[in-house]
Amino acid sequence: MSKPAILQIGPYPQWDQEPLDDAFQVHRYFEAADKAKLLAEVGPSIRGIATRGELGADRAMIEACPNLEVISVYGVGFDAVDLQACRERAIRVTNTPDVLTNDVADLGIAMMLCQSRGMIGAESWVRDGSWAEKGLYPLKRRVWGRRAGVLGLGRIGFEVAKRLKGFDMQIAYSDVDAKPYASELTFVADPVELARQSDFLFVTLAASATTRHIVGREVIEALGPDGMLINISRASNIDEDALLQALETGRLGWAALDVFEGEPKLNPRFLALDNVLLQPHHASGTVETRKAMGQLLRDNLAAHFAGQTLPTPVL
């Protein structure tokens, strides 16, 4: 029996690439010099798409594959997949939740600590001789005992909140409604009010049309000149222009960001700021988690083509 043909949208680590190649007839979209020509040639044979959360699969790609049955996303976010196009053609969609939750939460906490305590600048202070020449590093701000807000208390948001408890912080959250599993946390329905009550605001929402720019000017200014915004979700949840203006003018104190519009080509205005910590969208970037993500991506594809229940369906 011939292997199912799949379209691979972006590269994976070698430990994932080899078993993917063994199990499927893989067409590497990301390697094609003429991507439209590749789709025209192999599109009719494609039964599955293996993609990454930030790459997704748009309507044009989906329509170029008339026999497409399943899209498997390497990542928890699936906002870059045209779900409406998939619904219209009964195409299954899967992602890789849970396996990356704890690593993403860990990085969010690390970003808060790193930015609040000025650890990047402090290391440079040692390395460039400033410690010996200028003396002690400028004072920064404490974390423990302060106020934290979590915008979106799903899997990742809840793990962030659990970690924040270890710093004896006052913790509140916003979501579509109060969560029964979060009785020890304070529910604040309005994101603006949540920001007003927070020193650190973590954005851990799933991205959708509803949440696009939910962190806009009002939320950012409510967080204020002594506040810090930490985004480990999706760039679309934040109005980047409003964020940049607030950081440039001091209406927001600090930001720590793992995601950006148009990444990896982020807005160059970010590079001129010394009150923002920039990370290369690597919240799930540990060997252990990436291996688990790759395995789950393949498990979803294999289950579909074997006629079995999908481990982690979105559609």
Token output for 129: 């001789």
CB 255 within 8 A of CB 195: no
- Please state whether beta strands 70-74 and 92-94 pair in parallel, antiparallel, or not at all (unpaired): parallel
> Which residues lie below 8 Å from residue 293, measured CB to CB, with a gap of 6+?
74, 75, 96, 99, 100, 284
> Which residues lie below 8 Å from residue 47, measured CB to CB, with a gap of 6+?
4, 5, 6, 67, 68, 69, 70, 305
Residue 281 known to be catalytic: yes
Say whether 151 sits in a helix, a strand or coil.
Answer: strand
The active-site residue out of 281, 290, 298, 304 is 281
The DSSP secondary-structure symbol of 55 reads: T
Residue 155 known to be catalytic: no
The active-site residue out of 146, 155, 234, 298 is 234
The active-site residue out of 63, 147, 263, 269 is 263
Q: How many CB atoms lie within 10 A of CB 150?
A: 31
How far apart are the C-alpha atoms of 189 and 41, rounded to whole Å? 51
Residue 159 known to be catalytic: no
> Which residues lie below 8 Å from residue 278, measured CB to CB, with a gap of 6+?
257, 266, 270, 271
The CA-atom distances, in angstroms, between 58 and each of 65, 79, 81, 260 are: 11, 10, 6, 19
For the chain, the maximum distance between any two Cα atoms, rounded to a whole number of angstroms, is 71
How far apart are the C-alpha atoms of 28 and 23, rounded to whole Å? 14
Active site residues: 234, 263, 281
